[in-house]
């Protein structure tokens, strides 16, 4: 248990140290106006995954209904 607490403590301290640094790539994209392209691509990917999961859930539900009959 002591080992887990020490590991968690060191992880949190490293995260606090990383939170203090600036992200230069995001600043560059924001300055060039390309951050909107990055956001759009991420949203398209997430929307595609969401639609895929919904269709997969419908197929699994149909198969479960077929098995129950």
Does this model's pTM top 0.85? My answer is no
- Contact between 34 and 25 (Cβ < 8 Å): no
Q: Output the pLDDT for position 20.
A: 63
Task: Please list the alpha-helical segments (H only) found in 1-69.
Answer: 2-19, 24-32, 35-68
| Residue 32 CB-density burial (10 A; 0-12 exposed, 13-18 middle, 19+ buried) | exposed
pLDDT tens by residue, 47-62: 999 999 999 999 999 9
Q: Retrieve residue 13's tokens.
A: 């301290």
Residue-wise pLDDT for 11-29, tens only, equals 777 777 665 666 677 778 7
Tokens (6 digits) for 24? 């230069």
Q: Where are the domains of the chain?
A: 23-69
């Amino acid at each position: 248990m002591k080992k887990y607490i020490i590991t968690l403590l060191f992880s949190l301290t490293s995260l606090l140290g990383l939170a203090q640094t600036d992200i230069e790539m995001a600043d560059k994209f924001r300055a060039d106006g390309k951050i909107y392209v990055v956001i759009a691509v991420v949203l398209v990917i997430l929307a595609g995954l969401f639609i895929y999961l919904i269709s997969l859930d419908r197929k699994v539900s149909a198969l479960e209904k077929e098995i129950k009959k």
